[in-house]
Chain A
Amino acid sequence: MRRYETLFIVTPDSSEEDLKAVAEKIQGVVTGMNGKLVNYKEQGKKKLAYNVKKQNKGYYVLMDYLGLADLVAELERNMRLDERILKYITLKLADTVDPEDFEVQEPEPSEDTESVAEVEPEVDETVETQESEEER
């Protein structure tokens, strides 16, 4: 399996419930396609550097998961169709990952720091190969 990270922006006029609905839907896609969710974190409302779909603010959500290429394709298709999602970017963090190494869901702080330390060298390595992935 591969490890991916998707950062996406949810429209600013969504309510708590909308955010929950988006989370459920997105997480449903991940688990429904045999993916494994590692972390799903809402980063709160932030000002955008430029207007996207006439909005100047948005809720950023960072999701970390394991899966295969078809999962990413399906996820991005869903994000494109969903009007609540303004923009997204997907990065591959690692090429071969053992799903056993990761706890399912639950954004624990301890796991967070661990994954950060582990990911950094990987990110650098994959930077060059990423371009085609996310430009799509």
Chain B
Amino acid sequence: MRRRRRAFPRRKVCRFCADSSLAIDYKDPKMLKYFVTERGKIIPRRISGNCARHQRRITTAIKKARHIALMPYTTIQPH
């Protein structure tokens, strides 16, 4: 008997490859916000659908934005 397959999500295309006008910039937290969870964790490539090259750029941009306090490292505030 065939085991039930997991639902196949739609194959996502990297949005940065599809639209070259989108720029990845650490100074733009509004755009980067899209690639982190509510808690501020970076969303993995398998979920976000980015290609390797753009995921890498997103990741470095988010880390830079965190460094300059444009984005949170975490939303759980330490006491």
A residues adjacent to B (C-beta < 8 A): 7, 9, 46, 48-50, 52, 58, 62, 86-89, 91, 120, 123-124, 127-128, 130-131, 134
With both beta carbons as reference points, the residue of chain A lying nearest to B61 in the complex is identified as A127
When the two chains form their complex, are residues B66 and A49 in contact, meaning their CB atoms are under 8 A apart?
A: yes
Given A49-B66, A89-B67, A134-B67, A127 contacting B60 (CB threshold 8 A): yes
Main secondary structure of the interface of A (DSSP, over half): strand
Establish whether residues A124 and B24, one from each chain, have CB atoms under 8 Å apart when the complex forms.
yes
Tell me the number of A-to-B contacts counted with CB atoms below 8 Å.
45
Quote the shortest CB–CB distance from B49 to chain A (angstroms): 19
Q: Tell whether, in the assembled complex, residue B27 and residue A7 are in contact, meaning their CB atoms are under 8 Å apart.
A: yes
The number of chain B residues touching the other chain, given as a range, is 20 to 34
Do A49 and B69 touch across chains, with their CB atoms under 8 A apart? yes
> Are B73 and A50 in touch, CB under 8 angstroms?
yes
Instruction: Show 14 A/B contacts (Cβ-Cβ < 8 Å), sorted by A.
Output: A49-B29, A49-B69, A49-B71, A49-B73, A52-B69, A89-B64, A89-B67, A91-B64, A120-B23, A124-B57, A127-B57, A127-B60, A130-B60, A134-B67
Chain B residues engaging chain A, CB cutoff 8 angstroms: 23-27, 29, 56-57, 60-61, 64, 66-73, 77
Least distance between B67 CB and chain A CB atoms (Å): 6
Q: Using CB atoms, name the residue of chain A closest to B66.
A: A49
Knowing A7-B27, A123-B25, A124-B24, the reply to whether A58 touches B69 (Cβ < 8 A) is yes
A62, B27: Cβ atoms closer than 8 Å: yes
Closest to A58 in B: B69
